[in-house]
Amino acid sequence: MTILLFVMLGIFIFMMFRRNKKTQQQQATLQSQFAPGVEVMTSFGLYGRIVSIDDEDNKVVLELSPGNLATVHRQAVTKIVEPAADEAHAVPDDASSLTAEEPGNAPAAIETPDETLKRLNDEGKKDI
């Protein structure tokens, strides 16, 4: 019985060291990709662009918005933010796209005011 206990303890310790090793490898891979101009996220949720990296002091200067800089520890940067792929949707300068018909949709029938009134009255009678 004690042999089984020691085997289980050994497996537990082995798995713990293995997980720590994987985490360290992932962190090293991530930090090797750091360079000025890369969009990143910190462990506390701030998004910014790397301005400079100080390897000696383990500091990274992030530009959070134009003119606003923050200095954080290098290990606080936990994720590289990839640009969104669907940024192709541009907002037009006018409202022409709001009235344009989408391809594939059949155009709606144009009703006269009398037909609209009759349709609305008929819909109200369905509930009775």
H-helix or E-strand spanning residue 18: helix 2-32
Estimate the share of the chain in helix, then strand, then coil, as percent rounded to the nearest 5. Answer: 40, 25, 40
Give the residue with greater pLDDT, 101 vs 27: 27
Give pTM, 2 decimals.
0.50
- Distances from the Cα of 6 to the Cαs of 9, 18, 19, 40, in angstroms? 5, 18, 20, 44
How confident is the model over 36-53, as pLDDT tens digits? Answer: 888 999 989 899 999 999
By the 8 A CB rule, do 56 and 68 touch? no
By the 8 A CB rule, do 79 and 40 touch? yes
How confident is the model over 49-104, as pLDDT tens digits? Answer: 999 999 899 899 999 998 899 999 988 888 888 876 555 566 666 766 666 566 55
